[in-house]
Amino acid sequence: MKTFAVFGNPIKHSLSPIIHKLFAEQTGILQKYKRIYVPLNNFYEKFSDFIKSGGNGANITIPFKKKAYKLCNIYTRRAKYSGVVNTIKIMKSKEILGDNTDGIGLLKDLKNLKFINPKSKILLIGAGGAAQGIIYPLIKFGCSITIINRTYKNAKNIIKYFNNIKNLNCIKLEYFSKNLFNQLKYHLIINATSSSIKGNIPNIPSLIIKPNIFYYDLFYNISITPFLRWCRIYGAKKISDGIGMLIEQAAYSFYLWHGIMPNTKIIIKKFKKNYLY
Ligand SMILES: NC(=O)c1ccc[n+]([C@@H]2O[C@H](COP(=O)([O-])OP(=O)(O)OC[C@H]3O[C@@H](n4cnc5c(N)ncnc54)[C@H](OP(=O)(O)O)[C@@H]3O)[C@@H](O)[C@H]2O)c1
């Protein structure tokens, strides 16, 4: 039986093993899938142990997606463009193939939710591995993106990585004013920070909240996420957490490993029924 795992820190909250179990049941494929907790400085060692013990592929989550990119020696086109890897497949030749399914998974969920169209103007909060991974498919779809991040330098590095392409820019948190925000007229605001993991919200003024804007939190939880709760308190009407993205990106990983695409609609429905809001 093939063995897969999700690597991260923290990792306890990850629903990936449950989702992959449902995919395996749905498609009749036998696979093992486990969580692997990785101490912050031990990613390469842990990964190499996994390969030596016969691991066939992996998902990589917070905060190792940029490191994962470095350990691969071949890439899918979308991984190459984004510079971060969330899915790895060990090839028969033993080469390590890196893919990024976050962006395509998010885009699919945003389309399902009708939160996006090719002209959408997006404010992206956060500049970590997930933020970097979702930019290319969204820009390719036609959207424009402004990044805002706690550490400005990290947002600037992403702009540099994408070679100052059209439709992608960043602004400093301290320049963010009501006038500027009203001028920019965003349709969709995405929280791609990991602040929710510790129950926090990013340090962003509540002036970004309006009833006609869509709010999407990449994070997911068994109840409403701290960011979405805050959005709701200030009057947001159209909100979603990242559970749909999680399932869609997992399906693209499953497809890379097994060549079969699970039916995500059924699984998203199952998960959403268990949510409190
Ligand atoms: N739904 C899904 O399928 C899916 C997929 C991927 C990721 N995610 C979620 O996306 C989030 C980010 O993951 P990642 O891999 O990008 O993590 P990461 O590489 O560690 O990046 C973390 C980002 O969050 C920011 N941040 C952390 N704590 C903050 C705080 N208290 N206030 C403001 N900003 C803060 C960091 O800002 P600095 O640059 O200032 O450090 C950085 O921009 C996680 O919650 C993860 O679970 C969900």
CB of 195 within 6 A of ligand 1: the answer is yes
Please give the distance, rounded to the nearest whole angstrom, from the Cα atom of residue 192 to the centre of ligand 1: 5
Span of 82-91, 211-220, 265-274 with lowest mean pLDDT: 265-274
Would you state the structure tokens that stand for residue 80, as one six-digit string?
């190459």
> What are the tens digits of pLDDT across the range 135-165?
999 999 999 999 999 999 999 999 999 997 8
- DSSP string for residues in 177-224: -HHHHHHH--SEEEE--SGGGGT---S--GGG--TTSEEEES---SS-
CB of 83 within 6 A of ligand 1: the answer is no
Please give the distance, rounded to the nearest whole angstrom, from the Cα atom of residue 63 to the centre of ligand 1: 8
Coil, strand or helix at 115: coil
Q: What is the pLDDT, as a whole number, of residue 274?
A: 64
Mean of pLDDT values over 239-248: 96
Mutate to test the pocket of ligand 1, among 16, 65, 159, 193 (most ligand atoms within 8 A of CB): 193
> What are the tens digits of pLDDT across the range 32-42?
999 999 999 99
CB of 226 within 6 A of ligand 1: the answer is no
Mean of pLDDT values over 200-227: 94
pLDDT class of 271 with cuts at 50, 70, 90 = confident
Distance CA 39, CA 63 (A): 11
Nearest one of 250, 119, 238 to 190, comparing CA atoms? 238
pLDDT of residue 88 exceeding 60, the answer is yes
Domains for the chain: give ranges and CATH numbers.
Answer: 2-100+244-273 (3.40.50.10860), 103-241 (3.40.50.720)
Does the N-terminal peptide bond of residue 17 adopt cis geometry, omega within 30 degrees of 0? no
Active site residue 34: no
Nearest CA to ligand 1 atom 17: 62
Mean of pLDDT values over 73-95: 96
Would you state the structure tokens that stand for residue 164, as one six-digit string?
């100052």
Selecting among 46, 65, 80, 198, the annotated active-site residue is 65
Given the CA of residue 220, which atom of ligand 1 is nearest to it? Answer: 1
Nearest one of 86, 102, 145, 59 to 248, comparing CA atoms? 102
Nearest CA to ligand 1 atom 37: 150
CB of 220 within 6 A of ligand 1: the answer is yes
> What are the tens digits of pLDDT across the range 58-78?
999 999 999 999 999 999 999
Between 197 and 191, name the one with better pLDDT: 191
Contacts of 185 (CB under 8 A, 6+ apart): 121
Please give the distance, rounded to the nearest whole angstrom, from the Cα atom of residue 232 to the centre of ligand 1: 21
Inter-residue contact 64 to 53 (CB < 8 Å): no
Nearest CA to ligand 1 atom 3: 246
Cα-trace Rg, the chain:
18
Mean of pLDDT values over 221-227: 90
> What are the tens digits of pLDDT across the range 41-52?
999 999 999 999
pLDDT class of 276 with cuts at 50, 70, 90 = very low
CB of 149 within 6 A of ligand 1: the answer is yes
Cα separation values, 116 from 61, 144, 159, Å: 25, 11, 22
Q: What is the pLDDT, as a whole number, of residue 71?
A: 95
Would you state the structure tokens that stand for residue 190, as one six-digit string?
């995405």
pLDDT class of 223 with cuts at 50, 70, 90 = confident
CB of 59 within 6 A of ligand 1: the answer is no
Would you state the structure tokens that stand for residue 266, as one six-digit string?
């059924």
What b/e sequence results for 210-236 when a residue is b if at least 16 CB atoms lie within 10 Å of its CB, and e otherwise? beebbbbbbbbbeebbbbbbbbeeeeb
Mean of pLDDT values over 76-85: 96
**With pLDDT > 90 as the criterion, what percentage of the chain qualifies?**
89
- Averaged confidence pLDDT in the chain: 95
Q: First and final CA of the chain: distance in angstroms?
A: 38
pLDDT of residue 261 exceeding 90, the answer is yes
